Amino acid sequence: MKNSILKIKNQPNLVIGGFITAVIIFMALFAEVLSPYHPVNDADLMVSEEPPQISYLMGTDDQGRDILSRVIYGSRISLSIGIVTQLMNTIIGIIFGLSAGYFGKWWDDFVMGLTNIMLSIPSMIFALAIMALIGPGLINLFIALGMTNWAYTCRITRSQVLFTKSLDYINAAKALGYSNTRIMFTQILPNILGPILVIGTLGVASAILMEASLSFLGLGIQPPDPSWGGMLATAREQMFTAPWLSIFPGLAIFITVLGLNLFGDGLRDILDPHSYSKIK
């Protein structure tokens, strides 16, 4: 126990990343308390597109709503979309990628075929199809985003497995009679986690931004509910005339992804058996 605390202490990335992530999660949980205004109900056209000032720290949007409050409330939707869909993507991707790379043969061909399909059909078409077949809604948005982007993680995982599985220690593990599952998850996975975590955490940004484009098709968050991606997307034309409309939600995404990315890097260092020894 002491040992692991020490390990964490030696990981500035993990600490800083964890702190940023914790702050944002805190913001999402206590949005009601933290926001100076209601993100929807306090709209007042009379004060639309006011630049940042004392009463509106981040200014107001085109509908006369406080941007700070919308950024705070928006964290709920954007953070959950970013994290949930990326978790789905990463887990599915790892399972398929690991097994495809490890077992090879027809299973590899099948998984590769599947990823080819997922990677080549535009996500917009998927989203429209989900809209048409099961209708709009937050859960369906999760499905649309979480089920389509795993192929990327899968391919990266597979390529790493192909390289790793020929290394000596894997052969050693095989000789020791470890089960396939055990080799995959305890011997190979920790060694290839780095790139996967990078893709997973950076992917949060694209998931948050993708949410907006899918919401435009009717899937997912509907106005007036705030989401960072949505705020950015509706402000796109006003980029030069009212820059605060897009700067602050953009900054929110940046900080979140930075936090998660740092956290992921730190996590990798702890999970990677080889880096352990280095720290010790």
Choice between 1 and 132, CB closer to other proteins:
132
**Which of positions 61-100 make contact with other proteins (CB under 8 A)?**
62-64
> Judged by CB under 8 A, which of 1, 33, 168, 177 binds other proteins?
168
Choice between 30 and 51, CB closer to other proteins:
51
Choice between 95 and 112, CB closer to other proteins:
112
Choice between 122 and 177, CB closer to other proteins:
122
The verdict on 145 binding other proteins (CB under 8 A) reads no
> Judged by CB under 8 A, which of 246, 248, 266, 267 binds other proteins?
246
Residue 263 CB contacts under 8 Å (≥ 6 apart), including other chains: 13, 14, 17, 18, 20, 21, 201
- Count of positions (residues) in the chain: 280
> Judged by CB under 8 A, which of 87, 134, 139, 239 binds other proteins?
239
The verdict on 163 binding other proteins (CB under 8 A) reads yes
The verdict on 197 binding other proteins (CB under 8 A) reads yes
* Own/partner long-range contacts of 2-8 (Cβ < 8 Å, ≥24 apart): 7/270, 7/276, 7/279, 8/270
Helices (H), the chain: 2-9, 12-29, 31-34, 67-103, 105-120, 123-134, 138-146, 150-164, 168-175, 180-182, 189-215, 228-234, 244-271, 273-279
The verdict on 162 binding other proteins (CB under 8 A) reads yes
Which has the closest alpha carbon to 79: 234, 235, 265, 226?
226
With contacts defined by CB under 8 A, name the span among 1-9, 25-33, 79-87, 101-109 that binds other proteins.
Answer: 101-109
With contacts defined by CB under 8 A, name the span among 88-96, 137-145, 181-189, 230-238 that binds other proteins.
Answer: 230-238
Which tokens belong to 179? Answer: 């089960």
What CA–CA distance (Å, rounded) separates 27 from 118? 34
Choice between 178 and 265, CB closer to other proteins:
265
266 and 18 Cβ atoms separated by less than 8 Å = yes
Which tokens belong to 163? Answer: 């390289």
What CA–CA distance (Å, rounded) separates 234 from 245? 9
Give backbone dihedrals phi and psi of 69, rounded to 5 degrees, phi first.
-65, -35
The least CB distance from residue 67 to other proteins, in Å, is 15
> Judged by CB under 8 A, which of 7, 15, 34, 48 binds other proteins?
48
x/- map, 113-142, other proteins, by CB under 8 A: x--xx-xxxx-xxx-xx-xxx---------
With contacts defined by CB under 8 A, name the span among 44-52, 70-78, 86-94, 177-185 that binds other proteins.
Answer: 44-52
The least CB distance from residue 132 to other proteins, in Å, is 5
What is the CB neighbour count within 10 angstroms for residue 85?
Answer: 27
> Judged by CB under 8 A, which of 20, 69, 145, 155 binds other proteins?
155
Which tokens belong to 141? Answer: 């948005």
